[in-house]
Structure 1
Amino acid sequence: MFFSLTLFLYERGKLLPGLRARVRRAATPIFFAATLLIFGCTFVVGTTVAGTVLWAVGIASTPILDVAPTAQKLTYAFVTAALLVAVLRMRDLIGPRMFMSFLLGRYHKPRREERVFLFLDLIGSTRFAEERGDLEAMLYLGHAFEVLARPVELYRGSIDDYVGDMALVTWRMGPDLKDAAPIRCLFTFLDQVERDAGEWRRRFGEAPRFRAALHCGPVMTGEVGVDRHKITYFGDVINTTSRLESLAKALGEPVVVSAELLARLGQLPEGVTATNLGRHSLRGRGEALEVVGLRRSIGED
């Protein structure tokens, strides 16, 4: 119980969150070794605490439990921990929600569902690369997507893909959209970047700026590939969201959302204001789409 609870708190980011974040960013061999070491230390701490509790209440005669390291115990512990670490790394590489979908075979056969899509684009990445080089640009971009991961996890989204300097995040329509989760996710991320602007400038010479577009609609979701499996989406809503992001650039708006999605999300998070930008024709779409711009209210943190 003590061992499992400690591991659970660690994996949920409630125990030693800074250490967990650094280990997850490490290369796979380092991640593997470090996580095995952490699991080993957790086992020692867990058995020590458990033994002390049992000794204190008079059940055990000594505060040290009988965990003598026999060859059989060590082999069992190492193999079990190695399998667990491999599963955790796989989950991190493809995303926790995607991992569960693969594990449960949810999309082995394509299914029709409604989803929200967020296209998040880093502004000025080409200029940044020309001025500072591709390596620095890659580190800059990687750090931005690293910051994005926490709000996406917090608000029950899933990062579907990274394409150049753009991230594609998605949510299933339903309980995952409670309290306008996609909007909260986006502004939580933007607020975090703004709070860390000084650190960004010290590290990279400038703080990043982003442009975002959100839309919703029906898609076909299914697994594709043989050597490399991927859960992918097919539907007009993805193309429309991409063109909304281009429209945001043309209008000079940092965040645009379709009025259709906004109506389905309900009340906006506190401090976020909406401005109707009218109806706009998008390439490849017959009917004009009503678009809304979102911004933080002046004076909000």
Structure 2
Amino acid sequence: MKRTLQQYLLFTLRSIIFWVFAFGFMIVVRYFGVFEEKGVSILPKYQLPLQNLLMYVSISAIPFGIFYAFIEFLFDRYLAKNLALGIIIFSKNFIYLVTLIFLVSFVVEYTGYMLDVSIYEERGWWRTNKTFWSIMFFFVVASLVFSFIKIANEKFGRGVFVKMLLGKYRKPQEEKRIFMFLDLKASTTIAENLGHYTYSQLIQDCFYDLNTIVQKYDAEIYQYVGDEAVLSWTYKRGIKRNNAVALYFGFKEKIASRSAYYQEKYGLVPEFKAGVHGGKLMVTEVGSVKKEIAYHGDVINTTARIQSECNNYSANMLISESLLKEMQLPEDYVTKNIDDLLLRGKAKAINIFSISKE
């Protein structure tokens, strides 16, 4: 709960910063770039000092930034799963439009008070006012830009989108990362028993539950492959608070908390197995039609092969010794040395441990 609150507050702060810049840009364009339009002309004697203008922008942007973050968080956490994307977009924009009508009306009155002029006197002036609707258009575009940045960050991982814009991954770059391969246990048997349609719903529900906790553990979803999810961390974030291990048990707890739902709908409670490993590898942009960030290196292959050994040793989670040594697991985590294993395609054996939680 504490980390969820921290994530919400961080998202709210980013929203406020974005809308402070958006409001500032709008004011510069509308109020300093357009001098002849009726109702928005600001004569030199009415222009605010810079410090007052900054305060004015901040006061206008802060409440909207807070409200915007709340609506986005509400939809993402509680409504996104059950509503079509088109309905979500329409609903959000309708809420924003109604809010902006009240907010802009307040801003206009506040501006008139600050400048000691009467800008608009009649009620409902915004219905036919071209300036108002041009401002609305600006906010719709700004909202789409914010949503695009948010979606891109979720798609590529925190900070990766900005690096792509700057062209960092146009050429392969070496990074040190941790990967987890998370796979549904007994997937073939479950698919045969449920049928492909119901099985797809099961996978959809499982990955939805996974998505509700990935931010809590600073993880990034690299890709989904059938009934398998591949997660990734920068080495520092994966080690911090044992995120690369704690996520698996957090996911188990999430599934357990909804066991009644799974049992009623599917007649089973899904279980997952995981393999975790870390090290240096290459990251680069691939593709031109469907551009993606791709990771190349032995770390990926080794992690997949570690996970494939779970069934052989009746283990739910396996981790490489090199990564385990970097962790500082609390006492309720139980580790067991499996042995030195010569994994398929590997010339050198790798020591693997199982991890369980009391």
TM-score normalised by L of structure 1: 0.83
Q: Higher helix proportion, which one? A: 2
Task: Give, in whole Å, the separation in 2 of the partners of 1:176 and 1:258.
Answer: 14
Q: After the TM superposition, which of the residue ranges 77-86 and 184-193 deviates more from structure 2?
A: 77-86
Q: 2:333: which partner in 1?
A: 272
State the shift of 1:172 in Å.
1.1
Q: 1:157: which partner in 2?
A: 219
- Gap change, CA 1:208 and 1:77, over 3 Å in 2: same
- Gap change, CA 1:146 and 1:213, over 3 Å in 2: same
Q: 1:38: which partner in 2?
A: 95
Task: Give, in whole Å, the separation in 2 of the partners of 1:6 and 1:223.
Answer: 36
Q: 1:166: which partner in 2?
A: 228
Structure 2, unpaired ranges of 5+: 1-61
Task: Give, in whole Å, the separation in 1 of the partners of 2:244 and 2:250.
Answer: 10
State the shift of 1:242 in Å.
0.8
Alpha-carbon displacement from aligned partner over 1:154-192 (angstroms, at most 9, x marks no partner): 111110001111100011112453111111112111111
Which of 119, 126, 137 lines up with 1:68 in the alignment?
A: 126
Q: Give yes or no for contact 1:117–1:168 (8 Å, CA) kept in 2.
A: yes
Alpha-carbon displacement from aligned partner over 1:248-275 (angstroms, at most 9, x marks no partner): 111110001011101112x114522111
User: Residue 180 of structure 1 aligns to a residue in which SS?
Assistant: helix
Q: Higher strand proportion, which one? A: 1
Counterpart AA for 2:100: F
User: How many equivalent residue pairs?
Assistant: 286
Q: 1:262: which partner in 2?
A: 324
State the shift of 1:226 in Å.
0.5
The question of 1:24 aligning with 2:85 is answered no
Counterpart AA for 2:310: A
Counterpart AA for 2:283: T
State the shift of 1:34 in Å.
2.4
Structure 1, unpaired ranges of 5+: none
Counterpart AA for 1:132: L
Q: 1:187: which partner in 2?
A: 249
Task: Give, in whole Å, the separation in 1 of the partners of 2:145 and 2:226.
Answer: 33
- Gap change, CA 1:144 and 1:218, over 3 Å in 2: same
Task: Give, in whole Å, the separation in 1 of the partners of 2:147 and 2:97.
Answer: 12
State the shift of 1:144 in Å.
0.7
- Gap change, CA 1:49 and 1:135, over 3 Å in 2: farther
Q: 2:197: which partner in 1?
A: 135
- Gap change, CA 1:250 and 1:216, over 3 Å in 2: same
The question of 1:281 aligning with 2:342 is answered yes
Q: After the TM superposition, which of the residue ranges 189-198 and 105-114 deviates more from structure 2?
A: 105-114
Task: Give, in whole Å, the separation in 2 of the partners of 1:49 and 1:182.
Answer: 48
State the shift of 1:142 in Å.
0.9
Q: Give yes or no for contact 1:112–1:220 (8 Å, CA) kept in 2.
A: yes
Q: Give yes or no for contact 1:116–1:215 (8 Å, CA) kept in 2.
A: yes
State the shift of 1:114 in Å.
1.1
State the shift of 1:280 in Å.
1.1
Task: Give, in whole Å, the separation in 2 of the partners of 1:201 and 1:52.
Answer: 57
State the shift of 1:109 in Å.
2.1
Task: Give, in whole Å, the separation in 2 of the partners of 1:269 and 1:48.
Answer: 55
Percent identity for Structure 1 against Structure 2 = 27
Task: Give, in whole Å, the separation in 2 of the partners of 1:144 and 1:163.
Answer: 14
RMSD value, Cα: 3.1
State the shift of 1:79 in Å.
3.3
TM-score normalised by L of structure 2: 0.71
- Gap change, CA 1:66 and 1:272, over 3 Å in 2: farther
Task: Give, in whole Å, the separation in 2 of the partners of 1:111 and 1:245.
Answer: 26
Task: Give, in whole Å, the separation in 2 of the partners of 1:47 and 1:270.
Answer: 56
Q: Give yes or no for contact 1:183–1:269 (8 Å, CA) kept in 2.
A: no
Answer with 1 or 2: which has the greater Rg: 2
Q: Give yes or no for contact 1:257–1:291 (8 Å, CA) kept in 2.
A: yes
User: Residue 155 of structure 1 aligns to a residue in which SS?
Assistant: coil
Q: 1:4: which partner in 2?
A: 65
